[in-house]
Amino acid sequence: MDTTALRGAYDKLLDAAATPGLGEAADGGWDADHVLAHLLSLDASVAAVALGVVAGARPTLDNRISLDPWNLDRVIARHTDRADLIEHVRRQAGVLCDIADQLDEQAAAVLVPTLLLSNDTVAVDQPLPLAALIDGLAGNHVPEHTRQLLDLRVA
């Protein structure tokens, strides 16, 4: 797989996350730390799915753990500050991209049973090719969270 777009999306997200003065969400949603914790959780899940496919397993992807407030708070608590969270996202995004770079067409085409929720609504509940999961991070998921972070800028 070509991860150029995914790597670029993460570069923009990490720049946004490092913006000084990110405040609280006007709508009561996630702050920057919760966005980063969500990405850490979901990226680890996608990387695990990709490695499972390569190993011959038939893993599933369910993003509910990456939305769970207790889990997000646990992830945040394991880091000393936002800079530490940002660095962990940077490293883990690199691992995910490195794994994806090594997927051949056959592995990328494996259908992965997928359940994705967004704002308490089912967004996807069907098998998706592994490549579509990874490309979806680049084309939608990471840019959406980049916008979310930029919306936290305090004027």
User: What is the DSSP secondary-structure string of 121-140?
Assistant: EEEEEEEEEHHHHHHHIIII
Helix (H, G, I), strand (E, B) or coil at 104: coil
In-domain check, residue 155: no
What total number of domains does the chain contain? 1
Distance CA 100, CA 2 (A): 8
Structural domain including 50 reads 4-150
pTM here is: 0.95
pLDDT in tens, 32-65: 999 999 999 999 999 999 999 999 999 999 999 9
Identity of residue 125: D
Confidence of residue 72 (pLDDT cuts 50, 70, 90): very high
- What CATH number did the domain enclosing 47 receive? 1.20.120.450
Model confidence band, residue 25 (pLDDT cutoffs 50, 70, 90): confident
Enter the tokens of residue 135: 């490309």
Average pLDDT over residues 68-72: 97
Residue 101, domain member (yes or no): yes
Tell me the C-alpha distance between 40 and 34, whole Å.
10
